[in-house]
Amino acid sequence: MNQQHQDERTRIREAMDRLLAGQATTSNGSLTVKALAEEAGVHRMALLKRHGDLKNEFYGRVRAETTQIPESEKRLRQTVSKLKKTVSNQKTEIDDLRQQVTSLALASAVLIDGQGTPPAPSPLPTDARDNVIPFPSSGA
């Protein structure tokens, strides 16, 4: 490990201590990787790629030493909550659509069955047959 690398690690650990103590000097004081990198004077990608163990250590200390939940975990929890709600809504919608499909299939079957055979004429009572006058054919 070269001196510059060791220097960065030292600055990151000191920045952790300041942030957790609530004594931020160069960042906004939030308990995030962005604020940690800013406080340590290190590029955020350098912190994430070269010092991933320190990032994990930071979040572990945030959980252990404060009652706060890290911002990334809060965002993930919110996303999970939204997704659960979406899944629930979609399940309800799918159930409704299945009921509609069943109803429409039954209605379709009734309509198709009714088209196949013409309705049988209802027989007229015997006393009404004498009152029936046929229409003249159109060819007369």
C-alpha pair distances (Å), 24 with each of 21, 62, 65, 137 = 8, 15, 16, 104
Q: 120 falls in which pLDDT band (50, 70, 90)? A: low
Average pLDDT, the chain: 84
Percentage of the residues of the chain whose pLDDT score is greater than 90: 36
* Model pTM score: 0.49
Q: In the prediction, which pLDDT does 31 show?
A: 86
Whole-angstrom Cα distance, residue 36 to residue 61?
13
**pLDDT tens string 4-44:** 888 889 999 999 999 888 888 888 888 888 999 999 999 89
**What are phi and psi for residue 134, nearest 5 degrees?**
-70, 145
